[in-house]
Amino acid sequence: MEFICQSCKKKYPVESLAYKCFCGGLFDYSGEDPNEAVSKLITLGEVITPLIKYKDSFYLKLDYYMPTGSFKDRGARTMISVLKEKGIEEVVEDSSGNAGAAISAYAAGAMIKCKIYFPESLIS
């Protein structure tokens, strides 16, 4: 598993924790599907998200059936499961909404400490 820079093609091991290449380019991921690389996915009771037909050929996906009511649960589940397997004990996220809720919920399910930072403007 490695990251490959889209610009200069330099390779980085996933363990390097780099978030972008020294040239400034963004990464492509080269490796197995993270969902298959994890021996045990954290679960909070996910469901197959229902679709309902709206009008003639338009469908609505009902993501509010997910544990935190958000489509962000899919990515949070995978990320937290991988971090748990790698022995990570604490995560930090900046979010103004759904991602923070999903990450904090899955972190709690994995017994990983979690801090969520959000904009001061959200405090009423």
- What pTM value is reported for the model? 0.70
* pLDDT tens digits for range 24-55: 888 887 777 666 667 788 999 988 888 899 88
**5 and 66 inside one domain:** no
109, pLDDT greater than 90: yes
Same domain for 42 and 78? yes
pLDDT at 90: 97
Residues 8 and 62 in one domain: no
Q: What is the pLDDT of residues 48-67, one digit of tens each?
A: 888 899 888 899 989 889 99
The rounded distance, in Å, linking the Cα atoms of 61 and 52 is 7
Range of the domain at 67: 33-122
Banded pLDDT at 112 (limits 50, 70, 90): very high
| Long-range contacts from 1-10, C-beta under 8 angstroms, 24+ separation | 1/29, 1/30, 1/31, 1/32, 1/37, 2/29, 2/30, 2/31, 3/27, 3/28, 3/29, 3/30, 4/28, 4/29, 4/30
Please check whether residues 48 and 7 belong to one and the same domain.
Answer: no
Tell me: do 49 and 23 sit in the same domain.
no
CATH number for the domain harbouring residue 112 = 3.40.50
**Predicted pLDDT at 55:** 86
Quickly list H helices, the chain: 34-37, 72-85, 98-109
State yes or no: pLDDT of 71 exceeds 70. Answer: yes
Structural domain total, the chain: 2
**pLDDT cut 90: percent of the chain above it:** 40
Token digits for 6? 């889209």
User: Same domain for 82 and 114?
Assistant: yes
* Same-domain status, 66 and 23: no
9 and 68 part of one domain: no
